[in-house]
Chain A
Amino acid sequence: MTTPGAQLTRVARVMPRPVRLIAQFTRANVMLTLEYRTGFLIYMFNTVAGPTISLLVWLTVEANAQGGLPMDRAELVTYFVLMSAVSMLSDTWAGQYIADEIKSGALSNYLLRPASPAAHYIGNNMGEKVIKIWLLLPFVAGVALLFRADVRLTDDLRRWAALGVALVLAAVLTFELDYLIGSLAFWLQDVSGLATLNSLLEGLLAGRFVPLAMFPREAAPVLELQPWRYLLSFPLEIVTGTLPVEAIERGLVLQAVYAAGLIGAHRLVWRYGLRVYAAVGR
């Protein structure tokens, strides 16, 4: 009879090496996150607060517009109630750390390890999220309970499956975009301006402050194609049921193309970036 631990070890042996390393980093970061659980609990409250404030404002606008909005009350409520969960699951924070480590020379520590620096940051991202989701869910459930009469979730299993894929791709896209901006520190003294610009564009074009459906109809073709939509708005559009099946399929393909493009750009930037990297050492 084999123990679960032994079974896990056997499973771990057959996993590819990068996956094993990421799993190891994830485990370490789960423990680290647990150490700061109170702080993360407050962060999660803040994660829910923003979308809830937007929801309250949009509900007032909806009441005054008397049905003139492109989204009905149920769609608005579902969109903003789920936003914090989707936002947290696709969130990233690696870019600024990478930039700091390149500038300070601390990147050398990662380069000496038998694992890519990206594996460390992916593990950190996933490890924190494993804990954050449990801290966030009670807040999301609380807001959903307050607006229970208007929360309308789709019962189509294919949409939930599509949401799962879209969430993974959204997380990859967000991470890669942030990582790419941080990696530009190989050449730029300060990448915070680019990070701020990305954050502003994300706020406006990902549907964080305003659902993209609220923009003028003439802007729709551009808004549908631009990459920031696929970081947040697209997964939410799938689950609120506002998107037809063909549009979901098209969206998933485009999201995958953006993700592949960013991964390629990231690899290219690191290949050339490491050639110009000169660390003072610590």
Chain B
Amino acid sequence: MRYLRVWRRFFTAALMRELEYRGHTALMMVGQLAEQGVLLVTYLLFYRFTDQVAGWTRDEALLLLGVFWIFDGVWGGLIGCNLRLLAEYIQHGTLDQFLLKPVSSQFLVGAMVVEWWKLTKAVTGVVVVLIAAQRVGLTWSAGGVAAALGFAASGLAVLYALRFTIAACTFWVVRVSELYSLLNSVQEVARFPVQYFQRPVRDALIYVIPVAFATTLPAQALLGKADLRLLPVGGVLAIAALLASNRFWHFALRHYASARG
């Protein structure tokens, strides 16, 4: 509860900050909408020539695109913006301020910044999911939604742990930003169903860098097509990855020597 209260404070402070720069926020949101429009056109062009691609109809693929935007909005607005700053905290010595606070430093460095305008992408995603679900003729079920949320949470947790660990390597390596950006390309693949890719790429996207848990499996769960045996696999992967990232963070902190002047 205490952590939720702290997080709510971050939310409010970030919202107030963004409202101070309304013009900039609006401009960024328009740019983001345009970017989403480009991706939507790309999808529509895929389906100009065929009714289904790798077992996905146009409307089912649209539903997955909506799920991707929800994932990407949450990632960009709550997680990515924080992890991007971690290297800076370590290199400039400003990490000290997080270590002195009476809450987990991993929580603070991973949650303090909230970029509201990026979260609007998730809102567009929800709208697209609702429209696509109606076009598919989807019957909403509590089980399907719960499975989708379970898959999405495990996907988000694994990717967070993986990228947090890479970002934390800044304790030893000065320039990890390139390595960090390497995973951007992989994460971008989440905008397509993993079935669009042949083996072994498809297997790698499920088991090695499990982006499938973030978008493909939640979309399939909503459509009632997901292999639910993968749900506990995702849960175990998520818990293991989070614990490992936490252990790594504490190990890395032992090598931290404040560089602040």
Contacts and interface: CB of A to CB of B under 8 A. Distances in A.
A209 B191 CA distance: 13
B45 interface: yes
Overall SS of chain A's interface: helix
Contact of B41 (A60, A190, A204): A204
Contacts of B175: 36, 38-39
Given A39-B175, A49-B185, A193 B46 contact: no
A215 B48 CA distance: 9
Interface string A192-234: 0100110010011000011000111000000000000000000
Nearest to B184: A46
A69 interface: yes
B233 interface: no
Contacts of B197: 56-57, 60
B22 to A, nearest CB: 14
Given A193-B27, A200-B35, A204-B38, A214 B182 contact: no
Given A53-B185, A209-B42, A197 B31 contact: yes
B172 to A, nearest CB: 14
B201 to A, nearest CB: 7
A210 B45 contact: yes
B182 A56 contact: no
Nearest to B37: A200
Contacts of A200: 31, 34-35, 38
A242 B24 CA distance: 43
Interface in B174-211: 175, 177-179, 181-182, 184-186, 188-189, 192, 196-198, 201
B185 A50 contact: yes
A216 B48 contact: yes
A203 B45 CA distance: 14
Contacts of B38: 200, 203-204, 209
A64 interface: yes
B194 to A, nearest CB: 11
The 10 closest A-B pairs by CB, nearest first: A42-B178, A65-B49, A49-B185, A65-B50, A39-B178, A196-B31, A64-B50, A68-B49, A193-B27, A60-B196
16 contacts: A38-B175, A46-B184, A49-B185, A50-B188, A56-B196, A56-B198, A60-B54, A64-B50, A68-B50, A193-B28, A197-B34, A200-B34, A204-B38, A204-B41, A204-B42, A209-B38
